[in-house]
Structure formats: structure tokens, C-alpha cells
Amino acid sequence: MILGKKIIYLEIIALTAQLFYSSCTIRTNENSCPDNLALTNSGFEDGELKGWVDLGNSGISRDAHSGWKALMISDGDGGVQRFFHCTPGDNFTLTLYLKKEGNPSWAGFGIDFENLMGETLAENAFAPEITGECRQYSITRQAPDSTIRVEIWIYQQGESGSLFADDICFTLQEIK
């Protein structure tokens, strides 16, 4: 996904039928996500980035969709990522709440698939029109042949602005 702090755009899809959003509803409890692939700390309520790989400029904010805390990426290029093992043909859905402040030059999220050699087989980068209002975004992708690992990530570029993420849900629908 990131090579020399630059995102390789193999597929960027704006807000289309493949990317859905809905208005944010403020709740006071932690998001529940039933089949969340052991995605601990999906709401960042522990006040740390525990379980996430920090790609730079990531921290915790009190500007949350639910609960008291959320991920905040600010002051330049940066983000977070997580990896999971998978099987070719598995269908994954990533759902999260996003909002931004200021004007980052690029902000988005994605699902990438890698083979045994660590080579990217498919990169799915999504750069929706993220506003100052909290909105839910969701994408579903299928692991291509030879996939052994899937990566989810949230990233922003640019010196101006911040990206906030909360209540992240990553689910798997296994092939039978």
C-alpha cells in the first residue's frame, strides 16, 4: 500500500454503488460488530493504537462517533493498518465511520490482498468525499487467487487537516 510514503493507486473508486454512506448517529456505547475478525480496539476506547500498525501521525482523539475516543490522523502523511490471514475467494467487508477537519490533499481507506511473497495482488483504495460530518462508509471485496494475507488501512496525505475514524468493523464471509 505504501511505498516511500506514497500511495500506489491501482484502483481508486469514488462514491459509487460500491461505496455506500449514511448519516452518522451519535451513540454513547461502544460499537458492536458481531463477526469482527478479532478486530480488537475497533473503537479506540482503550486510548491507544493497540493492535494497529502506526504509519505515522496517528493518535487518539475525543472526537468520536460513539463512546469517548476515536482514531485521529493529522499533521502530515500518515495512518494505520492491520493484517489478517485469509483464503482466496473469501469476501471481506470493511465498515467504518469517517470525518475530516481542514483539507488533507488525500484521505481514504482500503483493503489490499497479498500473496506468499508479500506482493500486492489487488489494492483497493477508496477516497470518498469525506466531510466534516461523521458518516459511515462500507466496501466489500473478494480475495483473489493466491491470496494469503489481507490488509486494511486508513490513510491521509497533506500537511493541512485531520482524518478521524471510529467504530471499525471488518467481517469475513467464507466461501463454502
109 and 153 Cβ atoms separated by less than 8 Å = yes
Taken in order of first residue, the domains within the chain and their CATH numbers are: 10-26+37-173 (2.60.120.260)
| Predicted confidence (pLDDT) per residue in 61-78, tens digit | 999 998 899 999 998 999
Residue range 43-59: mean pLDDT, rounded: 91
Lowest mean pLDDT among 51-65, 113-127, 160-174: 160-174
* Percent of the chain surpassing pLDDT 90: 61
